[in-house]
Amino acid sequence: MSRIAYVNGRYVAHRDARIHIEDRGYQFADGAYEVIWLSGGRLVDGQWHLERLARSLGELEIALPAGSRALGFIAAETARRNGVADGIVYLQATRGTARRDHPFPARAPRPSLVMTSRRAAAPAAATTEAGVGVLSMADFRWDRCDIKAIALVGNVLAKQRARESGAYEAWLVDRDGMVAEGGSTNAWIVTASGGLVTRAPDERILAGITRRRLIELARGAGIPVEERAFSLEEAKAAREAFITSTTCFVLPVSRIDDTVLGNGRAGGVSLELRRLYDQFVAGAL
């Protein structure tokens, strides 16, 4: 089955999907995006994702290309036309096409909207149980990481450095030695008493949708959650650590740089949280 993309009002063959060469998303990364997980054809926390998209576009002073209900319909239809029941929908909105100039066009162009969908699977049980490594590095990204902008070259470089070192993810550390987030994930630690710590939303991190959902699930299960910054040193001394995102769900961390956490495999709290999140995604919670 050939893949189908949605481009500015039309469903077209993926190979024929086009935007104008002067689309500001292409020339300035002037736009925002979302990745939504599909489970059984259902958009997991779709409304929360669309609310975050609206916030990101608002911060960039870009008009929503369509209402929330319409965006949800297009996302579901894009998945349906691709035959994707379990996987992701990617949606991206930009300021639109205009003569190349750094300031906003005097007359706002029509925002561009594209969507694609493909099959995907969460990390396998073996990967989850073994845990993954993360590589710490100085945070060299821009200062508005709370906007889910398509300007991701800093994240790309961080992820590449991590992969070249044999790690799964990068952890970006701010000037005060506090962990911000991963290259494409939120960062968490488990304290000696079994509580969770993850950085409170600020301009240094993206407020992840999986992060938000997991806080609710953890508190509902009686697991305390602190939203505060934690240092790299605290993380390396933690009982457990893990990362979260739309595509990795809850993924335990077994190593930070050269420091092995616990017994070098996933800890019990992390695995329990992954179980709870899997149940939620499957619609059992």
Per CATH, 4-119 and 125-281 having the same topology is answered no
> Is the per-residue pLDDT at 2 higher than 90?
no
**pLDDT by residue (tens digit) across 128-185?**
999 999 999 999 999 999 999 999 999 999 999 999 999 999 999 999 999 999 999 9
Q: What is the pLDDT of residue 228?
A: 98
Domain chopping of the chain, boundaries: 4-119, 125-281
- At the topology level, CATH places domain 4-119 in D-amino Acid Aminotransferase; Chain A, domain 1 (3.30.470)
Measured distance CA(138)–CA(20) in Å, rounded: 36
- At the topology level, CATH places domain 125-281 in D-amino Acid Aminotransferase; Chain A, domain 2 (3.20.10)
**pLDDT by residue (tens digit) across 51-98?**
999 999 999 999 999 999 999 999 999 999 999 999 999 999 999 999
Q: What is the pLDDT of residue 107?
A: 94
Measured distance CA(225)–CA(197) in Å, rounded: 6
Closest Cα to residue 26, out of 78, 117, 100? 100
Task: Assess whether 236 carries a catalytic annotation.
Answer: no
Measured distance CA(216)–CA(276) in Å, rounded: 11
**pLDDT by residue (tens digit) across 159-170?**
999 999 999 999
Closest Cα to residue 256, out of 229, 231, 232, 230? 232
Query: Active-site residue among 52, 95, 148, 211?
Result: 148
Q: What is the pLDDT of residue 285?
A: 66
Positive or negative, the CA dihedral 218, 45, 134, 140 is negative
Q: What is the pLDDT of residue 212?
A: 98
Q: What is the mean pLDDT of the chain?
A: 97
Q: What is the pLDDT of residue 22?
A: 97
